[in-house]
Structure 1
Amino acid sequence: MKKIIINGILVGLILFIVSYGGLYITVRFFPQLFVQYNNPLFKSDGSRDILFYLHAFVISLSLSWFWERFKSLFHGPFLLRGIEFGLVYALVALLPVMWITFSSLDISVTTVASWFIYGLLQAIIAGIAFARINP
């Protein structure tokens, strides 16, 4: 359990840095995507903002457990194992969540697609990091 937590926190730091760097780059090069966030659906009173900033650690701890439990199913070089891990997570967990999100909320396909791509990239980065530090 200690290995899962330590690896989860380490990968959480990596995802935190990559996520916010990616957010900056995305806003800079695709500002039209973020105009959609003017929707009242996304207005927050600020009381739960910390939960948003902690998401990289929540997902990395979950993926750390998932990696520890199923890493023996992924074969090949660490890069390939990480990519496969990210794809498995995206198909098994992320796709159904995005499906229900799109079907139940008034958001665009573009928004949901960007969330899916973001989650897929997070999972691939986490998978590569786990495959490297915890083969």
Structure 2
Amino acid sequence: MMKKIIFTGLLAGVVLSILSYGSLYFGIKFFPSFFVDYNNPLFDSHGDRDILFYTHAFVISFALSWFWDRFKRLFHGSILWRGLEFGFVYAMVSLLPVMWITFSAMDVTAFMVMSWFLYGFAQSVIAGILFAKFNP
């Protein structure tokens, strides 16, 4: 059991890292005005914690892999449907409350928070599809 959690966590971490940095690159290239809001002292860690940013895909992948292994029997249907349902559950249980408190406590725009919510939802759907395929 633990091998499947670790394997699918690593697999999802690699895939999400590639997709995350690819989408960040293309986002900055094609929608640079959106990223102007990130030129804010709120988002400047002075390089102290950059490694935390670069490893986020693995942190979320291992957490989601454990969650999947624990509750996978509740998700039914095709691989795609199971991934979508998994992503929706994660978004409603975790992302919505976190984005709510983030928006209410920090000086960020609603558009930023909505993009983070959709980004997290997409990550969890992709991870759910991988988990449904490799750890049914």
Identity %: 65
Aligned residues: CA RMSD: 0.8
Q: Structure 2 CA distance, aligned partners of 1:77 and 1:119?
A: 21
Amino acid at match of 1:102: F
2:9 matched residue in structure 1: 8
2:122 matched residue in structure 1: 121
109-118 vs 1-10, which moves further: 1-10
Amino acid at match of 1:119: G
The alpha-carbon deviation at position 2 of structure 1 amounts to 2.3
The alpha-carbon deviation at position 44 of structure 1 amounts to 1.4
User: For residues 17-70 of structure 1, what are the alpha-carbon distances to aligned partners after superposition, in whole Å with 9 as ceiling and x for unaligned?
Assistant: 011111112112221110000111111110110010000000000000000001
2:26 matched residue in structure 1: 25
Alignment of 1:1-135 (within 5 A): 1-135=2-136
3-state secondary structure, aligned to 1:44:
coil
40-49 vs 51-60, which moves further: 40-49
Name segments (4+ residues, structure 1) moved above 3 Å: none
Amino acid at match of 1:49: D
Q: Structure 2 CA distance, aligned partners of 1:57 and 1:70?
A: 20
Q: Structure 1 CA distance, aligned partners of 2:77 and 2:97?
A: 28
Q: Structure 2 CA distance, aligned partners of 1:29 and 1:83?
A: 27
Q: Structure 2 CA distance, aligned partners of 1:28 and 1:11?
A: 25
Q: Structure 1 CA distance, aligned partners of 2:135 and 2:86?
A: 13
Amino acid at match of 1:125: I
Q: Structure 1 CA distance, aligned partners of 2:32 and 2:123?
A: 21
Q: When the two structures are superposed, what TM-score results if normalisation uses the length of structure 1?
A: 0.97
Q: When the two structures are superposed, what TM-score results if normalisation uses the length of structure 2?
A: 0.96
